[in-house]
């Protein structure tokens, strides 16, 4: 059956190419949307997971960018039995030179170890370290201005996390002055083997204006992650529908032009199910070819996006096996639905009418 499908596709090359293009770009869109959305979530999650077992933010805020936690809580938290260490950082964003927006991190000194220096030293007062990605885009490699405050670049660091690798790191007190807050997030490391739940309760009692969660719980229930996932699903569904409409339209035209062929098959006794199966087989072959083409093209595009100096590493994504399998199934569903409706319509038509072809 698939051998006959390949022959039929070769005969109708133009229509085959149009369906192939429509499918490929629809699948590429789905790959890119989900990969980039998951990449953003993974980068931010990784950044938080490297910092501690417990995350403290301001209570009842929609995003960590708006959070303001009293950094003075760190001294009290360190006195709690079972706490190994605590750190804080301020999250902000600011234009830097010609770059419209750059992530700014104000961190406590005990968190500097998270940034692997490529050159230089960790920042002192009025100093900053910059990620490799942003350094490439800076004209002045020795000084940097953040929100009208000048800093000397004391070092360069590298990070696998795009948000950090394209960011600027300064001391917490200076970031607090720039963004008018004490700390965005306080991170707590528990002693190895220590139960987290009792610590959450003890820390929560320190201040009624804070929200205290385990890192895993925070990442799972973070509203912004849910919004990103929902948005990517909706946009992917739109891409799926657009691809489906394109396939139905082109397949309808193709099948209409092959009416005589189907009429002759019906007249010589070929079953309706075999005619439908042949058309669906052609679509499945196209779907498989389009999927692998889209996979290669999406992988190539994601590579260039990840390594684009202009994007500073903020946009990143990889195609996981789970995503690839899901998109493969979606591709097959798309082509089967897109082809079966025109196929059933053609197979039901009277053989005499079909043999007359476009003359009817």
> Is residue 92 exposed (0-12), middle (13-18) or buried (19+ Cβ within 10 Å)?
buried
Rounded Cα–Cα distance for residues 133 and 120 (Å): 16
Secondary structure (DSSP) of 36-78: HHHHHHHHHHHHHHTT-SEEEEETT-SSGGG----TTHHHHHT
The stretches of the chain forming alpha helices (DSSP H) are 2-11, 13-49, 73-77, 132-137, 162-165, 172-179, 196-204, 215-221, 223-257, 259-267, 272-306, 321-348, 351-356
**pTM greater than 0.75 (yes/no):** no
Q: What is the pLDDT of residue 41?
A: 74
Phi-psi region of 140 (alpha: psi -120 to 50; beta: other; left: phi over 0): beta
Rounded Cα–Cα distance for residues 89 and 209 (Å): 18
Rounded Cα–Cα distance for residues 113 and 102 (Å): 21
pLDDT, one tens digit per residue, over 276-298 is: 777 778 778 888 888 999 999 99
Q: What is the mean pLDDT of residues 250-272?
A: 71
pLDDT, one tens digit per residue, over 327-346 is: 888 888 878 887 777 777 76
Q: Residue 360: pLDDT band by 50, 70, 90 thresholds?
A: very low
Q: How many residues does the chain have?
A: 360
Q: What is the pLDDT of residue 356?
A: 59
Q: What is the pLDDT of residue 127?
A: 95
Q: What is the C-alpha radius of gyration for the chain, rounded to an integer number of angstroms?
A: 29
Q: What is the mean pLDDT of residues 334-360?
A: 67
Q: Residue 108: pLDDT band by 50, 70, 90 thresholds?
A: very high
């Amino acid at each position: 059956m698939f051998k006959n499908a390949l022959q039929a596709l070769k005969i109708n090359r133009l229509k085959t190419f149009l369906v192939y293009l429509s499918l490929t770009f629809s699948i590429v869109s789905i790959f890119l949307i989900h990969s980039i959305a998951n990449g953003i979530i993974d980068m931010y999650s990784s950044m938080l997971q490297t910092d501690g077992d417990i995350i403290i933010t301001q209570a009842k805020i929609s995003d960590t960018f708006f959070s303001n936690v009293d950094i003075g809580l760190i001294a009290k938290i360190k006195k709690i039995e079972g706490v190994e260490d605590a750190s804080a950082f301020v999250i902000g964003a600011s234009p830097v030179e010609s770059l419209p927006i750059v992530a700014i991190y104000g961190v406590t000194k005990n968190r500097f170890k998270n940034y692997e220096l490529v050159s230089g030293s960790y920042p002192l007062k009025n100093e900053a370290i910059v990620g490799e990605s942003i350094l490439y885009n800076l004209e002045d490699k020795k000084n940097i201005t953040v929100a009208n405050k000048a800093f000397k670049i004391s070092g360069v660091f590298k990070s696998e996390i795009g948000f950090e690798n394209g960011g600027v790191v300064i001391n917490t007190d200076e970031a607090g002055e720039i963004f008018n807050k004490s700390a965005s997030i306080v991170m707590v490391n528990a002693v190895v083997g220590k139960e987290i739940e009792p610590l959450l309760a003890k820390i929560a009692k320190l201040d009624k204006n804070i929200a205290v969660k385990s890192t895993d719980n925070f990442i799972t229930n973070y509203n912004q992650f849910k919004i990103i996932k929902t948005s990517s699903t909706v946009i992917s569904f739109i891409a799926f529908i657009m691809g489906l409409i394109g396939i139905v339209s082109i397949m309808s035209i193709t099948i209409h032009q092959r009416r005589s062929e189907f009429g002759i098959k019906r007249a010589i006794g070929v079953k309706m199910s075999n005619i439908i199966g042949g058309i669906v087989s052609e679509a499945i072959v196209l779907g498989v070819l389009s999927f692998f083409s889209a996979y290669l093209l999406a992988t190539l595009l994601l590579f260039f996006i990840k390594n684009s100096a202009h994007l500073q590493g903020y946009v990143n994504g990889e195609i996981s096996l789970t995503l690839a399998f899901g998109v493969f199934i979606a591709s097959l569903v798309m082509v089967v639905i897109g082809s079966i409706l025109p196929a059933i319509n053609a197979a039901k038509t009277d053989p005499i009418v079909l043999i007359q072809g476009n003359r009817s």
